[in-house]
Structure 1
Amino acid sequence: MIRPLAFALFVTATLPARADILVGSYGDGSGAPQALRAFADDAHGDVAPLRTLAGPQSTIVSATGGSYQASEGSVYVADFWGQAIRVFPAYADGDVAPLRVLDPPILGQPRTVALDPPHGELLTTASGCCLIGFALEASGEAPWLHLLDWGGSSTSVTQLNYPASLTYLEASDEVALTDSDFGPSFAPKVLVFNRADAGNTAPKRVIKGDLTGLGGWVGGIAWDAQAHVLHVAANTRQPDGSVSARIIAFDDHADGNVAPLRTIAGAATGLELPSGSYLLGLAIDPLRRRLIASVSADVQAGDNKLLVFALDDDGNVAPSQVITGPQTGLDTIGAPIWVPPDVVFDDGFDEPA
């Protein structure tokens, strides 16, 4: 099968240093509103953020995930406790008002958002259960374009339960989501749908089973467009309460009970975690071919961290960067967002901006 190429064309000028790793915080919905923090692309150790987006004008309650939009130079932020998608300039600093806010009641508490500029859409979850699409420029209580139903009814075939994360696969015009089964087994899985699927539609592919290494539950998912690979954050709770996490790579057309292409796991990776911690979110830096992962700690705030690996890392490998410590301000953590140098890419990484 010949797949469309997905790769980056670089401008000939020297790349500017302005590339950032953004990450927000969940909080608990009852305390002070959380911030979206930006760290230098090469940050390592206990470092302060380059800038912090927060305050009354920002209206952010908890920035739990998001995506960068190149042609607009913006980030779309999923605000879980704020029940909205908020759009900001990519390099916003301080108490900056959003460019627009999407907050229809059906949205509920979004944890994730993916963008599809070629079709002018944003994709997220509705009411915690369902895949929903809106116009990219939608704001307020805008109508949705398409909605995939919850999978919990006796007649449903969607298998959608409570998706943790999603990513848009531009080359095949599909959406991949991490989710889990209903009932006591709660088996983790990856569901793949056509972008515009709606109603009671079965997934095209389901990655699930003992060979997959998905373990007890899954978090973030990210797509490497250049290599046609899906990366999935997986967790397994051990009898003593600790968590063995791993980052698993699958071919983006994988289906069924399939073994992964690669697995980042082991003591050197920083993914053997204490009780209360788990691997949460993933983001991809296609420029430097890196994978950025967030580890969330429910018990000890100092265990919140960002880890950076090479995209083709495999096995028990140490991260090239670890961002953690009191200066980071990461008392809680969301999924990372990678923001590239602002003159390098346009939508879909197809042409210079």
Structure 2
Amino acid sequence: MIRSLAVAVVFSLVAVSARADILIGSYGDGGLTPQPLRAFADDADGDALPLRVLGGPQSTIVSATGGSFEANEGVVYVADFWGQAIRVFPAYADGDVAPLRVLDAPILGQARTVLTDAAHGELLTTASGCCLVGFALDASGSAPWLHLLDWGGSSTSVTQLNYPGSLAYLAASDEVALTDSDFAPSFAPKVLVFNRADAGNTAPKRVIKGELAGLGGWLGGIAWDAQAHVLFVGANTRLPDGSVSARILAFHDDDDGDVAPLRVIAGTATGLELPSGSHLLGLAIDPLRRRLVASISADSVTTDNKLLVFGLDDDGDVAPLQVIAGPGTGMQSIGAPVWIPPDAIFDDAFDGPA
């Protein structure tokens, strides 16, 4: 609690002009060609060049598709989808840097997302594509898991877990929210909320799902605004011509059932009306500038991959404040964004004991 308060104070005192980073990785070409993590300035716009690129043989990164910044260690945990591992790097690593440690327990399978909870010394990620698993924060190699929520597809299961795509840790309530879908047609999308340490055949505490919720055809990322107690959810709907109409939905973090969102970012001005082969994939929150970063992943056309930046209180058909896209970015088949705070905050907030 003391550390959390200290971080909040430092966040309020550090000038917003201090540069933070947005990290973005790539699914690439099925693991044939390793893809690096690229870092962009948080105020980047247009066809921006990366500030730094993390990747190479020593990094062992194959496809960094998601991640989580961990402030106490000053590191970023990277979910490597084709590399089937969680890799840990210094937060501001640049070039071909070896990971500090690698968690590659066989149960991970193709890890798409990871979140960290330093207060309880845990990391959470997906297991074998179907389940939710927790490990010790410092786990490496084939370390055993601490708790595992079962797949929900058996006749006796109540977890409702199918193929979870993105995770958010709700620190205030010690819960995990995730995006998923039903097993059978029409494969209805849903948001499931569990206690962090739930295990075995345990039902979710809350489920956001239904016509009023407006979750569309399938979900992308999920992110939590701790200050406002709001969950942001990325939704996609495929149209008859193959294009995709995406939107960002804001729910209160204790919403349950078929509830209408508090706000919806959607429309032609938003950049969320997408060509065939593109979809809204990931979300990340910049708490300093009160911004929401969304990643648009395209199957093949590099310039269709982009990062859109909105205000956290935006609503309706609003234009993004920033659009990072273009050949200079080097982005292709991108994953979920990761926000990294300015090094000034890191230095001031985490040097010395809490």
TM-score by length of 2: 0.95
Aligned-pair CA distance for 1:29: 2.4
State whether residues 231 and 247 of structure 1, in contact with CA within 8 Å, keep that contact through their aligned partners in structure 2.
Answer: yes
Which moves more between the two structures, 13-22 or 312-321? 13-22
Verify: 1:221 aligned to 2:219, yes or no: no
Aligned residues: 348
State whether residues 132 and 148 of structure 1, in contact with CA within 8 Å, keep that contact through their aligned partners in structure 2.
Answer: yes
Q: For residue 234 of structure 1, what is the aligned residue in structure 2?
A: 235
State whether residues 61 and 79 of structure 1, in contact with CA within 8 Å, keep that contact through their aligned partners in structure 2.
Answer: yes
Aligned-pair CA distance for 1:101: 0.3
In 2, Cα distance between the equivalents of 1:53 and 1:27? 15
Aligned-pair CA distance for 1:327: 0.3
1:1-353 maps to which residues of 2 (within 5 A)?
8-10=8-10, 12=13, 14=15, 17-344=18-345
State whether residues 74 and 346 of structure 2, in contact with CA within 8 Å, keep that contact through their aligned partners in structure 1.
Answer: no
Aligned-pair CA distance for 1:31: 2.4
- Poorly superposed stretches of 4+, deviation over 6 Å: 4-7
- Determine helix, strand or coil for the equivalent of 1:212: coil
Identity within the alignment, %: 80
Structure 1 unmatched ranges of 5 or more: none
Cα RMSD, aligned residues only: 2.0
In 2, Cα distance between the equivalents of 1:27 and 1:261? 35
In 2, Cα distance between the equivalents of 1:337 and 1:35? 14
In 2, Cα distance between the equivalents of 1:173 and 1:306? 29
Aligned-pair CA distance for 1:298: 1.0
In 2, Cα distance between the equivalents of 1:320 and 1:55? 33
Tell me the amino acid that sits aligned with residue 261 of structure 1: L
- Determine helix, strand or coil for the equivalent of 2:343: coil
State whether residues 344 and 352 of structure 1, in contact with CA within 8 Å, keep that contact through their aligned partners in structure 2.
Answer: no
In 1, Cα distance between the equivalents of 2:166 and 2:312? 19
State whether residues 223 and 231 of structure 1, in contact with CA within 8 Å, keep that contact through their aligned partners in structure 2.
Answer: yes
Aligned-pair CA distance for 1:208: 0.1
TM-score by length of 1: 0.95
- Determine helix, strand or coil for the equivalent of 2:212: helix
Aligned-pair CA distance for 1:223: 0.3
Q: Which has the higher contact order (CA 8 A, sep 6+)?
A: 1
Aligned-pair CA distance for 1:105: 0.2
Deviations 1:271-313 (A, max 9, x none): 0000111000000001110000000111422100000000010
Deviations 1:294-351 (A, max 9, x none): 00111422100000000010000000000000000002201000000124269x99x9
State whether residues 31 and 83 of structure 2, in contact with CA within 8 Å, keep that contact through their aligned partners in structure 1.
Answer: no
Aligned-pair CA distance for 1:71: 1.3
In 2, Cα distance between the equivalents of 1:123 and 1:21? 21
State whether residues 16 and 341 of structure 1, in contact with CA within 8 Å, keep that contact through their aligned partners in structure 2.
Answer: no
Structure 2 unmatched ranges of 5 or more: none
State whether residues 46 and 322 of structure 2, in contact with CA within 8 Å, keep that contact through their aligned partners in structure 1.
Answer: yes
